[in-house]
Amino acid sequence: MSNTIDQYREAKNTYLKLRNQAKRELISRFNEVSNELLQLQRELLEDFGEKVPLPTKGKKPRHTRAPKAGAKSETRAAAVPLPPKVLQLRKQLEGQKKKLADAQTAGKVTKAIEDRIYELEDELRLLTGQKS
């Protein structure tokens, strides 16, 4: 039995060493790429007078889809801003659903969480005027 525990501890130490080493290498690589990006930006400005801003977020590929027949009504509905109470309830609902999934994977009792989800869904339905 102690042999298994020793193997576990050794594997855990190896994992932690590899994790720390990978973290250092990723940070190093990130700094290299950042320096190269700054150098390219500087060259573009000095040589070509072109000022290119650094990206703040990665770009997501755009997917073009053909509009559906009922797209006009959906566009109008999406253009209306939602009340803060609805947004707050949706955020709480997402949090409770995540909490439920975590509890289910851990094998814990989920009755109270499920009840709270039903309550939040009912409140949302009342605020948005949806029928179930």
Quote the CA–CA distance of 130 and 107 in Å, as a whole number. 33
88 and 124, same domain (yes or no): yes
49 and 84, same domain (yes or no): no
Quote the CA–CA distance of 75 and 88 in Å, as a whole number. 22
Beta strands in 9-72 (DSSP E): none
85 and 123, same domain (yes or no): yes
In a domain, 74, yes or no: no
Q: Which structural domain range is residue 114 located in?
A: 80-128
DSSP string, 88-126: HHHHHHHHHHHHHHHHHHHT---HHHHHHHHHHHHHHHH
Quote the CA–CA distance of 32 and 38 in Å, as a whole number. 10
Domains in the chain: how many in total? 2
Tell me which of 47 and 55 has the higher pLDDT: 47
pLDDT of residue 39: 93
In a domain, 114, yes or no: yes
Report which DSSP code applies to 80.
Answer: S
For 23-48, write each residue's pLDDT tens digit: 999 999 999 999 999 999 999 999 99
In a domain, 73, yes or no: no
Tell me which of 130 and 93 has the higher pLDDT: 93
